[in-house]
Structure 1
Amino acid sequence: MMLTIGLYNTYDPKRIHEAHLRAIARAAPVAYAFNFHLALIGFPFEGKDEREIAGEVAENTTIGEGGKYLIKLVESGKFHLLDFPKKGFPSQFGEVVATTSKPSKEKAVKTIEIAEMAVRGKSFIFLIGLGRHGLPKEAFKIAKYHLDITDGKGISLETCTAIGIIPAKIATVMEALKWMKRERR
Structure 2
Amino acid sequence: MLAIGLYNTYDPKRIHEAHLRAIARAAPVAYAFNFHLVLIGFPFEGDSKEIAEEVAKNTTIGEGGKYLIELAKSGKFHAIDFPRKGFPPQFGEVIATTSKPSEDKVIKTIDVAKMALSGKSFLLVIGLGRHGLPKEMFKVARYHLDITDGMGVSLETCTAIGIIPAKIATLMEALKWMRGSKRYYRWY
Structure 2 CA distance, aligned partners of 1:6 and 1:150? 18
How far does the alpha carbon of each residue in 1:73-103 deviate from its partner, in whole angstroms, 9 at most, with x for none? 0000000011111121111100000000000
**In 2 relative to 1, CA 89–184 (structure 1 residues): closer, same or farther, beyond 3 Å?**
farther
Gaps of 5+ in 1: none
| 1:31 equivalent in structure 2 | 30
Of 110, 133, 147, which residue of structure 1 is paired with 2:145? 147
Give the TM-score taking structure 2 as reference length: 0.96
How far does the alpha carbon of each residue in 1:110-146 deviate from its partner, in whole angstroms, 9 at most, with x for none? 0001101001010000000011100001110010000
CA RMSD, Structure 1 to Structure 2 (Å): 0.9
Measured after TM superposition, the shift of residue 5 of structure 1 is: 0.3
Structure 1 CA distance, aligned partners of 2:141 and 2:167? 20
| 2:15 equivalent in structure 1 | 16
Of 51, 54, 70, which residue of structure 2 is paired with 1:53? 51
How far does the alpha carbon of each residue in 1:12-48 deviate from its partner, in whole angstroms, 9 at most, with x for none? 1110000000000000000000000000000011x32
Measured after TM superposition, the shift of residue 50 of structure 1 is: 1.1
- The aligned length equals 183
| 2:68 equivalent in structure 1 | 70
SS at match of 2:178: helix
Structure 2 CA distance, aligned partners of 1:144 and 1:43? 23
| 1:98 equivalent in structure 2 | 96
| 2:175 equivalent in structure 1 | 177
Structure 1 CA distance, aligned partners of 2:35 and 2:182? 27
| 1:84 equivalent in structure 2 | 82
Structure 2 CA distance, aligned partners of 1:155 and 1:183? 33
SS at match of 1:12: coil
Gaps of 5+ in 2: 184-188
| 2:129 equivalent in structure 1 | 131
Structure 2 CA distance, aligned partners of 1:184 and 1:135? 43
Structure 2 CA distance, aligned partners of 1:27 and 1:78? 12
Percent identity over the alignment is 79
Question: Which amino acid in the other structure matches residue 131 of structure 1?
Answer: G
| 2:2 equivalent in structure 1 | 3
| 2:41 equivalent in structure 1 | 42
